[in-house]
Structure 1
Amino acid sequence: MTCILLVEDDDVIRKTVSMALGRYGYQLDTAADGLSGLEAFRGGGHDLLVLDVMLPELDGISLCRRVRESSQVPILMMSARGDSLDVVSGLEAGADDYVVKPVDIPVLVARIRSVLRRAAAPAEPSGGPSSSEASSGVLRFGELSVDPAALEVRLSGQLVELAPTEMRLLLEFAAHPGIVLERATLLREVWDYGWDGDSRVVDLCVQRLRKKIGADLIETVRGFGYKLRRS
């Protein structure tokens, strides 16, 4: 059974969301503040974290950063509607996605399922460079190597740790080297969004990916989207 850690300081929201997700078959652990949430996370066994942004003791964005120091577990942030800065800060801290408050349970469940699908079954590229490395399954782009089967990424021989969404995003680029991918296409293929998609999640995930694999590999094509340089 999928185990979710929900960190939310509002008692009503915490209990409501816990009961609702329980009816969808999820096992829930909960915490009412950031430090308790961090302790619960360190206890292990969670498949996904749902973090409120505004938390006592340790805010959700700081908690997200602390988690990312040691784990690539999927993280979903909850933010009050209209708090654009919170959304951006959460995604920059390493969150995979976000939902807005007041929480719409079907939307939350859809986001959870989408994030878990990305974590459990990253898409394998159908194309890539035509080389001996590609024929053996390893794709190379300059100093970057991508092994879709092993889900390993190396830069100059050093292993690069990627969150599930970052891995799927890189695999999508690797499947179409040199081809411009629009944000709407990336939302559909990586985030499973055929609806209510926010292009900021694409832009910020690209930023995080660039920091890990090099700023020059993913080129911005203004007015259209992004493309992965062939070399």
Structure 2
Amino acid sequence: MKYTYLDCLALFGVGGAHPGGLQLTKKILAEEKINKETTLLDAGCGTGQTAAYLQQHYGCSVSALDNNSTMVDKAHQRFSSLGLPIDTKVGDIENPPYPDKQFDIVLSESVISFTRVSATIPEIKRVLKQNGRLFAIETVLEQPLSEEERSHIVDFYRFPQLFTEEEWLTAFRDAGFQRIDVTKYQPGLVKVDEQHAADYSLSETIDDGLLEILEEHEEIMQQHKENLGFRIFRCS
């Protein structure tokens, strides 16, 4: 069986795999007004590390969505063990199973890049309330690549597209977001300590091929550390 990078994350059950991990998420949302009345969607929730923190810390209404059933099973196990009332669904954020204007906040942590952006962002806008906010941590192409290099990255991660910052801004504007604040993620800006490190919920069987995928991911990140970056987008 040929695994994908996302299969690898699911079978290892990696929580907080996005740049900066849970500590960056805390930093981003600490500046927001979130309370028990807030409705929030963790779009691409993975194993539920972020969703669990949000419900425990803010007491807000959290929904968790992921298109990988293995991830959702692990998220559900996490929420059940902690006694958290989080609505958890298997579903695609290109077509999220929610009515219009349901959420105050949608959070996407390195998720939209793996989808068809032209479909996903308008759907996120649809499920947000009139003054709702999207927070997205996404991969950005910092400088041009050769066609061979670009194809390797896109094929490995199964990215439908690889956007520059300006292309991301255009996509958000086209979907109807009027204010877009952008912060460049600096790896040294948020020091990830033991409490905030990625956690793991391992599947029973871990194939050697998964370790090879992790190794290739690390190689790509190191080789292209000047070409690939990350941005934090706050859209409203």
TM-score bin (small chain): 0.3 to 0.5
Q: Radius of gyration: which is bigger?
A: 1
Relative contact order: is structure 1 or structure 2 higher (C-alpha 8 Å, sep ≥ 6)? Answer: 2
Q: TM-score, normalised by structure 1?
A: 0.32
